[in-house]
């Protein structure tokens, strides 16, 4: 139990399945957040360099431009709160 060499085969297989599931979830999160991070990170860097606090700032993003992120309920990235609006 707990990694001391006394795990049963079933426990070991269950842990491996859980690790694989977590790996899949992490890959999904990377696919979901990576495009937003690529866009928002340079803006955050410039604001921080200028001394503007970024934490809890609200930014407005289009549900048309970011449909997957909107559908999955992403509401916060890199300290920014996201206000979703529909515009083209």
**Residue 48 within any structural domain of the chain:** yes
Judged against a pLDDT cut of 90, whether residue 87 lies above it is answered with no
- The domain tally of the chain equals 1
* Distances 72 to 1, 32, 44, 52, 53 between C-alpha atoms, Å: 36, 8, 23, 29, 27
pLDDT of residue 34: 92
Give tens-digit pLDDT for 7-41: 788 888 999 999 999 999 999 999 999 999 999 89
Q: Which domain holds residue 31?
A: 9-85
Q: Put residue 70 in one of left, alpha, beta given phi > 0 → left and psi -120 to 50 → alpha.
A: alpha
Give tens-digit pLDDT for 25-81: 999 999 999 999 999 899 889 988 999 888 888 889 999 898 999 999 899 998 889
pLDDT of residue 5: 63
**Residue 3 within any structural domain of the chain:** no
Q: Mean pLDDT for the chain?
A: 87
């Amino acid at each position: 139990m707990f990694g001391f060499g006394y795990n049963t085969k079933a426990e070991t297989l269950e842990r491996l399945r859980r690790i694989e599931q977590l790996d899949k979830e992490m890959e999904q999160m990377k696919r979901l957040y990576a495009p937003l991070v690529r866009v928002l990170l340079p803006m955050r860097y410039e604001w921080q360099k200028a001394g503007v606090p970024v934490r809890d700032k609200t930014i407005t993003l289009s549900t048309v431009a970011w449909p997957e992120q909107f559908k999955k309920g992403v509401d916060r990235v890199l300290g920014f709160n996201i206000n979703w609006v529909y515009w083209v």
